[in-house]
Amino acid sequence: MNKDLYRYFERDISWLSFNYRVLLEAEDDHLPLYERIKFLSIYSSNLEEFYEIRVAEHRGIIMKKKFTEDTENDNDAEETLAKITCEVNRQQQEYYRIFSDKILPELNKQGIYLYQDSKPFPFHEEFVRNFFNEEVFPFLSPVMIQKDDIHTFIRDRRLYLIVRMVRKSKHIGEAGYASEYSYALMKIPFSKVPRFIELPEQDGMNYIMFIDDIIRVNLPVIFPGYIIDSCYGIKISRDADIYLENEKGENIVENIRKKVKKRKIGDLSRFMYDRQMPAGFLSFICEAFGIKREDLVVGGRYHNLQDLAKLPNPKGKALEQKLPSPMRVPFLEEMGSMFKTIKKKDVLLHFPYESFDYLIRFLMEAAFDPKVIEIKITQYRVAENSAVINTLLSAAQNGKKVTVFVELKARFDEENNMSTAERMKQAGIQIIYSIPGLKVHAKVAIILRQDSEDGSKRRNFAYLSTGNFNEKTAKIYSDMALLTSNTEIITDISKVFALLEGKLFAPVFRHLLVAPFNMVPELKRMIQQEINHVQEGKRGRIVLKMNGLHDRNMIDELYRAGENGVEIDLIVRGICCLIPNQPFSKNIRITRIVDMFLEHARIWYFYNNGEENLFLTSADWMRRNLSRRIETAFPVLVTEIKREIIDIFEIQLKDNVKACYIDENLNNVFKRDTNPLKTRSQLTIYEYLRNKNEIAGRAQ
C-alpha cells in the first residue's frame, strides 16, 4: 500500500483512552472496594500530570503561534485541545457516575459513610465544630477578591474554596443583586490536616468527612459579618514541563534547581470548577483571575481526588487487594553468594513476583567483597531514602571506587536526584551528571571484580533491567532484570559507561541495542528479516510489549510488515498511535492490560524462522526514546530463560479477564472469549513462577 495512506491515532487522545481504561477498573465490582477506589485515585493523578505536561505544551504552542515536533498530527493545537476537552469532560462525567453510583453505595453497604453534604448529622455536630476550631481554623487565611485588585497567587495542585456572601447589613431580594455580593478565596491547609477526617462511630457505622466539608459547615465562623450564599471548590494545574535537555557545565545542578522552582509558577493549563457553580459566579471568577473559557474543565464537588488513595479504611484488609508476596528464588538462596550464583548461570528476576532484595544483596556483596574494584551504575528514578543508594554509600566507605551516572532531567524526580547525588558526592562517589540533549534512561550496573589473588584474572558482573533501581516501585511495577557474567554483554555495557564518562564517542556494539546508535537500524533489520521469511513461504512473527508506541517511522515498519503477512501482536499499556483493523494494518492486534501491578517491562520478540530473537529493554517506541535518550536493549541468550519469557508472553496474550483489544476507534474492548478457563495474566504468571521455583527447589 502507498505509505501516504497510512494513518495514526493522535498521541494525546490515545493516552486518554489508556487513562479511561484505568478508570474502568473502578467500575469492576469483582475487585475489592478499596482497590477500585485506588484506581479512581490513579486516574486523577494521571490526568493531573497530563494537564501539567501535554496540555501545557499545546497551550504554549498556541501562545507562540508555531508547532513542535511532538504534536505530530494534521490538526493544529487548538483542534487538539478541543478534542482533549471534549473527551476529558466525557470521562469526568463517567468518573463522578462511578464514584456516586457505584463506590458510595458500596461504602455504605460495608458500613462506611462518606459525607457528601456539608451538614453533619446532629450526633456529629459537636465533634465537627470542635475539630474545626482546634485543628483547622488557626491555619486558614481567607482573602477577599476584588476584580481590579491584586490577587493572591493560586498554586497548582492545591485545593481552594471560593465563597460568595453578602454583608448582614445588606438586603438581598429573592433573586439577589450581584453587585452586593462579596467573594473570598481560601486555601485548604492540606499540609496541616488530612484530606479525610474520621468521625465517631454511631450504631456500628463508620463516618468519614472531607476536610472541605468541615470547613464549609463552619463558614459562618470564618466570616461572622456575612450571610453565606454559596461555596464551591476550585483547583488549577500549571505548566510543569520545564526545558532541561541542554543543561550542561559546572553549574548544571544550580541551573536545574532554579528551573524546577519555576515549575510552581508556570502558566495555567487547567481551571477545574464544580459543575454546580452558577454561570454568574463562574463569570466573576474568570474575570477576576483572567481565566479564559478554554482553560475551564468541568469537575464535581470535590477536586484532587487522587487523595482517595488516602481514604481511611476502618474495616481493614478485607476491603483491599491482597497482593501476592514476592517469592524467594531457591537457586539464589542455596548458593548464598550472588557472585557464585551468577558465575554458574545467568539469572532472570521478575518483579514484583520475585523479591527486589536480590538486587540489594548483589550490590551489598559488591560493597564488602575485597575483590571488587569498582561499581558503576545509572540512576534515573530512585526511592527516597533509597536502599540502593545506601549500598553504594557503604561501598564507597569500604574503599571501593563507585561511579554513578545521575540523570537530573528525570521529570518530577529532579530534586530527589539532586539531593541523592549530593549525598553520594559527599561520601566520595564519583558523580557524572546529565548529557546535553540526551536523557539517560538505561537501567544498567556493572561490578568490576578480580578473580584471582594477584589480580591477573577478572570476572565482572552486570545487572540489566527494564525498570528503575527503585525498591518502592518494584513492589507494584512489573519488570524483568538480568544478572549475568557474560563477557560479551559486559563488554558492551562497559562501552555504554565509557560513553557516559566521555571516553568514547562512536561506540560499536556487538550484542546490545543502544539508542541513539544501533537500536533503530537493528530493529528495522529484524522486521525486514521477518518480511523476508514470509516472502520465502515461511512464518513471520513479531510480539512487542512496551508502554508507548508513538514513533511514526517504526509504526510504518510494522504497517509494512503486517501488509506483507507478518503476524504481529502488540501489548501496549499506554500511548499507541498505530490504528488496527485497517487495510494497512493487516495482521496486527493490540492488547492492553491494566491490573493490580503496572505493566512496565518492555520485551521484543522476533520469530526469525524458529531461532527466536528476544530482547529486554528500557525503551518504548517513542521518538524521544529512540532518538533523544540513551537506552539499552539486551538479548536473552540462555534458552531456558528465553522459554520462560515466551511462556509469559503467551499467558498475557491469553488474558481474558483484564486484557482489552484496542479497536480502530480507540475503544477498550474487553476480551470476553468463550473459553471457560479464565486467565487473569498477572495471577497466572505468579503461579507459573511459583511452580517453576518449587520445581527448582526440589531439584536442588
Tell me the C-alpha distance between 514 and 512, whole Å: 6
Cβ-based neighbours of 15, under 8 Å, separated by 6 or more = 50, 54, 574, 575
Helical H segments across 327-379, by residue range:
330-335, 338-344, 357-368
- For the sheet with 205-210, list strands across it: 112-114, 205-210, 196-202
For 255, the grid coordinates are 541551573
Q: Is the pLDDT of residue 129 over 50?
A: yes
Q: Note if the bond before 516 is cis, omega within 30 degrees.
A: yes
Tens digit of each residue's pLDDT (9 = 90 or more) over 328-356: 998 898 877 999 999 999 999 999 999 99
Tens digit of each residue's pLDDT (9 = 90 or more) over 572-587: 999 999 999 999 998 9
Cβ-based neighbours of 139, under 8 Å, separated by 6 or more = 189, 192, 193
pLDDT of residue 357: 96
Nearest-CA neighbor of 92 among 56, 35, 47? 47
Mean pLDDT rounded to a whole number for the chain:
90
pLDDT grade for 2, boundaries at 50, 70 and 90 = confident
Tell me the C-alpha distance between 22 and 36, whole Å: 10
Cβ-based neighbours of 614, under 8 Å, separated by 6 or more = 603, 604, 605, 606, 635, 636, 642, 645, 646
124-128, 455-459, 499-503: segment of lowest average pLDDT: 455-459
- 449 phi/psi in degrees, rounded to 5: -140, 135
Asked if the domains at 330-510 and 514-699 fall in one CATH topology, the answer is yes
pLDDT of residue 238: 81
Of residues 124 and 289, the one with the higher pLDDT is: 124
pLDDT of residue 123: 96
- CATH assignment of 514-699? 3.30.870.10
Tens digit of each residue's pLDDT (9 = 90 or more) over 131-160: 999 999 999 999 998 776 666 678 887 899
Tell me the C-alpha distance between 173 and 180, whole Å: 11
Q: Is 630 helix (H, G, I), strand (E, B) or coil?
A: strand
Tens digit of each residue's pLDDT (9 = 90 or more) over 234-267: 998 887 666 555 555 456 666 666 656 655 667 7
pTM of the model: 0.91
- 204 phi/psi in degrees, rounded to 5: 80, 0
Of residues 360 and 628, the one with the higher pLDDT is: 360
What CATH architecture is 330-510? Answer: 2-Layer Sandwich (3.30)
- Residue 662 per-residue DSSP state: E
Domain residues of the chain, as ranges? 90-319, 330-510, 514-699
Task: Determine the average pLDDT of the residues in 267-275.
Answer: 86
Tens digit of each residue's pLDDT (9 = 90 or more) over 29-79: 999 999 999 999 999 999 999 998 888 888 878 776 544 454 444 457 889
- What's the residue count for the chain? 700
Domain 90-319: state its class. alpha beta
Task: Determine the average pLDDT of the residues in 387-396.
Answer: 95
Share of the chain above pLDDT 90, in %: 71
pLDDT of residue 294: 81
Tell me the C-alpha distance between 599 and 18, whole Å: 12
Q: Count the neighbouring beta carbons within 10 Å of the beta carbon of residue 239.
A: 21
For 146, the grid coordinates are 476584588
pLDDT of residue 254: 66
Q: Is the pLDDT of residue 693 over 80?
A: yes
Radius of gyration of the chain measured on its C-alpha atoms? 28
Which residues are marked as active site?
441
